[in-house]
Structure formats: structure tokens, C-alpha cells
Structure 1
């Protein structure tokens, strides 16, 4: 099971844990946390199939 830390949704807690692992307090400045939150890197496919 993934590490979690802080408050909020399950995804936010994972992002907080990843930010802490990178040594950053704010998940918004942590690249690992941003990818967890879908801000960078691989994103979920939102296109609709016809």
C-alpha cells in the first residue's frame, strides 16, 4: 500500500507523502506529487470513444 500523509483525498495524501519523500513541504512544488495529482507527466485519457 502506498504511503499517505496529511489531510484531504486519498490522492492528495499520496501527493503529500511523495512531496515529503522529495524533501519538499508543498506538494505543488514536488514533481512526483504533481504527477500523482495529474499536473505533469502521464495523464488519464479523457477522450470519448465513438
Structure 2
């Protein structure tokens, strides 16, 4: 019976971790790549201007 208790501890911990992970991902807001792509476009434009001026 003691061995069964020791086997249930990791099982319960795994279930709790799975539930917590699901809850954390559920409440996270979805964000698009818009701001990152805009910043990259500005970076490319700046690099093109600096190389074409020489």
C-alpha cells in the first residue's frame, strides 16, 4: 500500500501540472506579428539607405 502511495504522488503532480499549463495558455492573449514585422521593415529601410548613400 505504501508503494501505491509513492506512485500516486507523481501522478497527481503530473495531472496538476497539466491543468495549470492548460489554464496558463488559455488566459494568454493572442498577439499578431504586426509590430515585429513593422520594426523589421523600418530596419531594412534604414540599412538600405545607409548602404546606398556610399
TM-score (norm 1): 0.30
Greater relative contact order (CA < 8 Å, ≥ 6 in sequence): 1
Q: Between Structure 1 and Structure 2, whose CA radius of gyration is higher?
A: 2
